[in-house]
Structure 1
Amino acid sequence: MTVTQVPQMGPTGGLAQRYARALYDYASEQGALSDVLAQVQGLRDAISQSADLRTFLADSRLDAHRSSEVAGALTEKLGFGDAVRRFVGVIAANRRLADLAAILDGVLALDASLRGETVAEIRSAQPLTDMQRSQLQARLAEAGYSRVSMIERTDASLIGGMTVRVGSTLFDTSIAGRLTRLQNAMKGAA
């Protein structure tokens, strides 16, 4: 397993964190934090499992009005509450649907952090099974991360294997990572 130090800042930077904090604070003030967190996890899972949904969210050609309509219909159909529906509507109106997954991850990471847990972002070529999840939890505990909240993403570009990011540490066992390291090693040998 290769360990690489990388910066934690994602492509959206503090933007996702600001939106995440806003939703978290709003849900907390309304006394609906546990319901909103469950819905955030459900929406994050839906995005992770649906290539069509990811394509829609990334489509910058849709205008803000049409994006808001579709996002509202989608969140209503999925049975999400008023707070999450309105939040996704604001994200759509601000033309930030491409950042929605990162924002939802930010909400989950903020919650985990406030509960004293470390956040581990797991990217795998295929969705993890329950057995793989428990094995990964055990390995992270062995590495000193006993209270870990896992955020899972499916990324076919990894070809196989997975990457696990905990803070600024990246554990990369993916085939794509191995191929990149091999390519870099061959460049150095030439």
Structure 2
Amino acid sequence: MNGASREALVAARERFDALTDTASVDVEKLAADLVAVTGLLDREVSLRRVLTDPAQAGEAKAELVARLLGSQVGGETVDLVSGMVRSRWSRSRDLVDAVEELAASAEFVVAQRAGSLDDVEDELFRFGRIVASTPELRSALTDRAATASAKAELVRSLLGGRANAVTVRLVVTLVTRPRGRSLEAGLEALSKLAADRRDRMVAIVTSAVPLSDQQRQRLGAALATLYGRQMHLNLDVDPGVLGGISVQVGDEVINGTMADRLHEVARRMAG
């Protein structure tokens, strides 16, 4: 997001944090309500344009939200979305993206309150790896001809009873409401958002054999020192790296694998 939308999103996050800091708020219901609002705004292009029209008074737009949503979702959701439409947005679609982000953030708050946020992060990463290594599964989950209910049922059959309920709900929402994103991009965005809940970054670590707890701790501490933030390590095992490790943080890759060194030797010999 750029310009006004970025500022509006920052304000929305602050209101969301203040709201979810209150233990009495049913955050799971808030998440479900925000998912429903995301779907409504994604479908109704004319509505989201009205709600982001800078020529319309903010209070008038907030009153419209209250009339439309008051009987459909909880009061916390109405208040949150009303505050969002009072802000200025550079593009109407940015408002939908922001509501969608807050819906996922609410799910992460549910996991955080239950002490299971680490589990959810790991499950999202592992599910992404399963999808990447199983083309048939990816095709089934992204098939435009398949109904949303069929995709949701497939996710529940795969993850139900094996993964945290928050993970299941997040993946179901992602595959049934992709909103033009690839499945991989959606999972990556969720992983980053989960890490942001604790102001930490995500490092994807690929090694030839599983790392010991001591190795994980040393690597995590080294990366935290390097980047100035705490790190969540998503671990992947790939015998093809032939020893050593490869670490990806965002778009940056720190490659120390034996295979990479062999390629470098071969390149130099060919030169």
TM class by smaller structure: 0.5 to 0.7
Question: In the alignment, what sits opposite 2:139?
Answer: 60
CA distance in 2, matches of 1:174, 1:150: 17
Structure 1 length-normalised TM: 0.63
Higher helix share: 2
Question: In the alignment, what sits opposite 1:75?
Answer: 159
Query: Among the aligned pairs, what percent are the same residue?
Result: 24
Structure 2 length-normalised TM: 0.47
Shift of 1:52: 8.9
The answer to whether structure 1 residue 152 and structure 2 residue 235 are counterparts is yes
Q: 1:143 to 1:112 in 2, by over 3 A?
A: same
SS in 2 for 1:153: strand
Q: Is the 8 A contact 1:118 1:145 kept in 2?
A: no
Q: Is the 8 A contact 1:121 1:164 kept in 2?
A: yes
Q: 1:142 to 1:182 in 2, by over 3 A?
A: same
The answer to whether structure 1 residue 32 and structure 2 residue 110 are counterparts is yes
Of residues 172, 178, 202 in structure 2, which corresponds to 1:119?
202
Q: 1:119 to 1:46 in 2, by over 3 A?
A: closer
Q: Is the 8 A contact 1:125 1:162 kept in 2?
A: yes
The answer to whether structure 1 residue 178 and structure 2 residue 178 are counterparts is no
Matches within 5 A, 1:80-95: 80-81=164-165, 83-93=166-176
What amino acid does structure 2 have at the position aligned with 1:74?
L
SS in 1 for 2:199: coil
Q: Is the 8 A contact 2:241 2:257 kept in 1?
A: yes
Which structure's CA Rg is the greater one?
Answer: 2
* Greater relative contact order (Cα < 8 A, sep 6+): 1
CA distance in 1, matches of 2:204, 2:136: 20
Shift of 1:26: 4.0
Q: Is the 8 A contact 1:41 1:104 kept in 2?
A: no
What amino acid does structure 2 have at the position aligned with 1:76?
G
